[in-house]
Amino acid sequence: MTAAADEPESYNGLPGAFPYAFRASDSLLFKMYVGVALLLTVGIALMFVFGIVVLLGASASVRGGTFTFSRAFFLFVGLLVVAPLLAPVLLVARRHRRQGSSTAYDRGMGLAALGFVASLYVGLIISVPPALQEPTGSAVVATLYALPQLAGLAPPLLAVGVLYLVHRLLR
């Protein structure tokens, strides 16, 4: 047996982590999440790139100060949304490459990660401005609309905490 055969397969960074984690995992739930995470990450990244282009265009003639901060904050918020989408894929890929992973860990990370995706949706519903809220017959949506907009941060933050706990408990 050669030394190259003893070394674990590498995934060469973030783009390679997606196919590596997909191939290495035995959990169908996690494999489904890899596809969802890839689509959402690309979609959210494009949305933030187009948003920053519009922000730059709207504030191009203004000098420094608050507008410079708002541009940086816009990118920071985009990173805060995308990072928890990528983290489960990177954690599972790293675990498989280093020590081998269990199906229970992969399944738990996939379930917690899908919970984060659902929490983003709930957070978006809560944070819809009153002028844009559609009348609905759903008591759940009406309750979410009634919450203060700042409460829209709570579901994603709670889901990130759950994701971290699942990682710590199942490793």
Write out pLDDT tens, residues 50-74: 988 887 777 777 776 666 677 778 8
Question: In the predicted model, is pLDDT for residue 135 greater than 90?
Answer: no
CB contact set of 31 (below 8 Å; sequence gap of 6+): 22, 25, 110
pLDDT digit string, tens, across residues 39-50: 999 999 899 889
In a domain, 3, yes or no: no
Question: In the predicted model, is pLDDT for residue 123 greater than 70?
Answer: yes
Task: Give the number of C-alpha atoms closer than 13 A to the C-alpha of residue 20, restricted to the C-beta side.
Answer: 23
In a domain, 109, yes or no: yes
pTM over 0.75: yes
Would you tell me how many other CB atoms lie within 10 Å of the CB of residue 168? Answer: 8
Instruction: Give one DSSP letter per residue of 68-136, joined into a string.
Output: HHHHHHHHHHHHHHHHHHHHHHHHHHHHHHHT---HHHHHHHHHHHHHHHHHHHHHHHHT--GGGPPP-
In a domain, 2, yes or no: no
Domain hosting residue 132, numbered range: 14-170
Q: Are 101 and 152 in contact (CB under 8 A)?
A: no
Query: What value does the mean pLDDT of the chain take?
Result: 87
Instruction: Give the Cα separation of 126 and 42 in Å (integer).
Output: 24
In a domain, 7, yes or no: no
In a domain, 5, yes or no: no
Q: Are 92 and 24 in contact (CB under 8 A)?
A: yes
**Which residue has 């933030």 as its token pair?**
48
What is the structure's pLDDT at 108?
95
In a domain, 1, yes or no: no
Would you tell me how many other CB atoms lie within 10 Å of the CB of residue 46? Answer: 10
In a domain, 9, yes or no: no
Q: Which residue has the higher pLDDT, 9 or 22?
A: 22
Lowest mean pLDDT among 25-34, 57-66, 103-112: 57-66
Q: How many domains does the chain have?
A: 1
In a domain, 6, yes or no: no
